[in-house]
A and B are shown apart, each in its own frame.
Chain A
Amino acid sequence: MKMEKRRAYSAWIFLAPSLILYLYLFVYPTIEAFRVSFYKWSGFAANMEFVGFDNFLKLITDTSFLEALKNTLLLLTVGGMGSFLLAFIFSYLLGSGIRGKKVYRTIIFFPFIVAPVVLSIYWSLLVYNPRVGILPQLLKLLHIEVLSEFLFTDMSHIFWSVLFIVIWSKVGFYLILLMAGIERIPPYLYEAARLEGANELQMFFKITLPLIKEVLVIAIIFWGIHAVKMFELFYAFGGIFPPRALWTNAIYLYIMGFGKRDPIFQLGYASAIGVVTLLLVIIVSFIIRKSIKREIYEY
């Protein structure tokens, strides 16, 4: 079969440009980062010193890292629950044959396409701004100024203030994914359930959830990956330097590797943080895949 062989050959030509770039500038740096994480290395000179697992052992006792890890996990779990709960509520509201469905969906999706820096600027300077922001002014208008203590003003709450921005800006993307799954469910299933006397909640758990499993798995894995990698919104928040309460793994890695104004250049240590973060991504994806059983319902 000469034709078949030629076809297989040309498939590799189609693949070659992306594969070469991917191997050289993506896969090789990943492997290199793993290697560097076993070294103590302060810069680009050749003074690399092999230290084995020291960097990883140091991480366990590094309180800054543990706080960053805690923030990353909170973002992953609480942020994820918030985003999906809200996305499900919106998909329910929009799925009930409401007028203006597409317009609402587009508006809810909009913040997803706005640059994280712009989101940081808008929320920190105009909304949360302790003295003059929109939110403190609104609270004053409603005579509930006491609540402002719980907002951006107070450093212990800044993480939650930013987490709200994350949910607010990402929910539209997950709404679109969930609606794509829900719209494929044939309506007669709901009609039949309604005839049997099922309520909305029962229909959600017995019909909607099982039938959108495939889409839900993809959506949750996307969220997990996205949350663990998230950097820009948190890093820009607070302008000159993100407060420690906002450090995530990604930010701590960046600070250890590149510093801010004063370079720190603990490149081996920074790489170790990256390796731990990557392992976190793998574990999370694995747990999601395993915990949502992959039965496919025929309908």
Chain B
Amino acid sequence: MKSNKFLFERFLAHTILIIWSILVGMLVYFIIISAMKTNRTIFRQLLSLPEKFDISNFINAWTNLDFGRYTFNSVFVVINAVALIIIISAPASYALTRMKMRFAQPITFFYIAGIGVPFQLLLIPLFKIMVPLNLNDTLHGLILVYTVLSIPFTVFLLTGFFLSIPSELKDSAYVDGCNEFQAFFKIMVPMATPGIVTAGIFNFIVLWNEYMLALVFTTRSEIRTLSLGLYSLFSALQYTSDWVTIFAASAISIIPTMILFIFLSEKLISGITLGAIK
């Protein structure tokens, strides 16, 4: 028999959680309905539904304001950066945890310590390196910067995952005549896939949303990423007074991460969980 006190506590818990959920849901709801209104009506009827289902603001943002191109730039930069991050960080994490190399611990610490460095500190020296390499103001340069600055956190995540894989597996691969590279690609990579996927999603989301580095390392408007394009649009608001397009562009920016999140949030959450309690 469940007591009244128990039922009341349940009710209270659900109430608090539902209020918070509404607070979160409002973000998506209001951005989308605002994106379908017009500049003339938006603030007169901020809370009400749009008069009709109207995607002209999206089309305007996508074509006239170049958000189609920005989306393409973001996809290009982020996919390449994430692939590069994994390609260089996974073998490194494996070497640092499962190959009995000398100085593995201090080197791991040396990598992970990078998490604490504020990126703003690196902007000026990095800029100075990029200019003579002709990488400044190019998407390739941005990919390189994103890749390098993501190494510390990715190594932190992946070393945790490799440590959770029993090393007997790798030893038996050696006994079967595999060399180090075969053991890594045939045994360890498949075993570490959940970790690699987590690191991939995490980096994708962080880089997709990033705009400070893009602001410093790109100046031409045609190579803007989506977040930077959105930031530029937002900071020009007081001249353009074009409110509704900003909401349409915001929706364009959150839709990809939202889709990724809907399908992969369980993987991401369990990955963070595993990384935290190694």
Instruction: Tell me if B147 and A180 are in contact (CB < 8 A).
Output: no
Contacts of A285 in B (CB 8 A): 116
Contacts of B52 in A (CB 8 A): none
Q: Does B71 interact with chain A (Cβ within 8 Å)?
A: no
Instruction: Tell me if A17 and B238 are in contact (CB < 8 A).
Output: no
Q: Does B273 interact with chain A (Cβ within 8 Å)?
A: yes
Instruction: Tell me if A107 and B24 are in contact (CB < 8 A).
Output: yes
Known: A15-B91, A114-B27, A116-B209. A215 touches B243 (CB 8 A): no
Binding-face segment, A59-67, A120-128, A152-160, A289-297: A120-128
Known: A44-B128, A122-B250, A134-B47. A274 touches B100 (CB 8 A): no
Instruction: Tell me if B148 and A277 are in contact (CB < 8 A).
Output: no
A215, B272: Cα distance in complex, Å? 11
A162, B34: Cα distance in complex, Å? 22
Instruction: Tell me if B238 and A239 are in contact (CB < 8 A).
Output: yes
Chain A residue with Cβ nearest B34: A126
Instruction: Tell me if A109 and B265 are in contact (CB < 8 A).
Output: yes
Which parts of A211-259 form the interface with B (CB within 8 Å)?
214-215, 218-219, 225, 228-229, 231-232, 235-236, 239-241, 249-250, 253-254, 257-258
Instruction: Tell me if B25 and A109 are in contact (CB < 8 A).
Output: no
Q: Does B65 interact with chain A (Cβ within 8 Å)?
A: no
- Most chain B CB within 10 A, of A109, A115, A173, A225, is at A115
Q: Does A146 interact with chain B (Cβ within 8 Å)?
A: no
Contacts of A121 in B (CB 8 A): 31, 230, 234, 246-247, 250
Binding-face segment, A18-26, A77-85, A186-194, A201-209: A18-26
Chain A residue with Cβ nearest B85: A18
Chain A nearest CB, measured from B224 CB (Å): 12
Q: Does A105 interact with chain B (Cβ within 8 Å)?
A: yes
Instruction: Tell me if B100 and A126 are in contact (CB < 8 A).
Output: no
Known: A18-B92, A118-B253, A184-B277. A274 touches B121 (CB 8 A): yes
Chain B nearest CB, measured from A155 CB (Å): 17
Instruction: Tell me if A28 and B209 are in contact (CB < 8 A).
Output: no
Q: Does A12 interact with chain B (Cβ within 8 Å)?
A: yes
Instruction: Tell me if B101 and A8 are in contact (CB < 8 A).
Output: yes
A6, B180: Cα distance in complex, Å? 9
Q: Which of A11, A32, A125, A134 meets B101, CB within 8 Å?
A: A11
Known: A8-B101, A26-B151. A229 touches B230 (CB 8 A): no
Contacts of B186 in A (CB 8 A): none
Indicate the size class of the contact surface on chain B: 35 or more
Which parts of B83-110 form the interface with A (CB within 8 Å)?
87-89, 91-92, 94-96, 99-102, 107
Report B205-249 CB contacts with A as 1/0, cut-off 8 Å. Answer: 100111110001000000000010011001111100001001100
Instruction: Tell me if A271 and B231 are in contact (CB < 8 A).
Output: no
Known: A134-B46, A235-B212, A239-B238. A115 touches B114 (CB 8 A): no
Q: Does A73 interact with chain B (Cβ within 8 Å)?
A: no
Q: Does A282 interact with chain B (Cβ within 8 Å)?
A: yes
Q: Does B123 interact with chain A (Cβ within 8 Å)?
A: yes
A26, B146: Cα distance in complex, Å? 11
Instruction: Tell me if B92 and A19 are in contact (CB < 8 A).
Output: yes
Q: Which of B180, B238, B257 meets A10, CB within 8 Å?
A: B180
Q: Does B119 interact with chain A (Cβ within 8 Å)?
A: yes
Chain A residue with Cβ nearest B114: A26
Which parts of A254-299 form the interface with B (CB within 8 Å)?
254, 257-258, 267, 270-271, 274-275, 277-278, 281-282, 285
A258, B219: Cα distance in complex, Å? 13
Q: Which of A11, A102, A115 meets B99, CB within 8 Å?
A: A11
Chain A nearest CB, measured from B271 CB (Å): 10
Contacts of B205 in A (CB 8 A): 113
- Most chain A CB within 10 A, of B122, B124, B155, B208, is at B124
A232, B234: Cα distance in complex, Å? 13
A258, B272: Cα distance in complex, Å? 35
Chain A contact residues, CB within 8 Å of chain B:
6-8, 10-12, 14-15, 17-19, 21-22, 24-30, 32-33, 36, 44, 89-90, 93-94, 96, 98, 100, 102, 104-111, 113-122, 125-126, 131-134, 137, 168, 173, 176-177, 179-181, 184, 214-215, 218-219, 225, 228-229, 231-232, 235-236, 239-241, 249-250, 253-254, 257-258, 267, 270-271, 274-275, 277-278, 281-282, 285
Task: Name the 5 nearest CB pairs between A and B, nearest first.
Answer: A274-B121, A29-B125, A115-B209, A14-B95, A11-B101
In the complex, 14 of the A-B residue pairs with CB atoms within 8 angstroms, ordered by the A residue number, are A11-B95, A11-B99, A33-B125, A100-B17, A102-B266, A105-B269, A111-B27, A121-B31, A121-B230, A180-B276, A181-B276, A184-B277, A219-B276, A274-B121
Chain B contact residues, CB within 8 Å of chain A:
9-10, 13-14, 16-17, 20-21, 23-27, 30-31, 34, 43, 46-47, 87-89, 91-92, 94-96, 99-102, 107, 111, 114-126, 128-129, 131, 144-145, 147-149, 151-152, 155, 179-181, 184, 205, 208-212, 216, 227, 230-231, 234-238, 243, 246-247, 250, 253-254, 257-258, 261, 265-266, 269, 272-273, 276-277
Known contacts A27-B114, A113-B257, then 17 further A-B pairs from the complex at CB < 8 Å, ordered by chain A residue: A21-B147, A26-B149, A26-B151, A90-B20, A105-B269, A114-B209, A114-B257, A117-B231, A121-B250, A126-B46, A131-B43, A168-B23, A180-B277, A231-B119, A232-B209, A236-B231, A236-B234
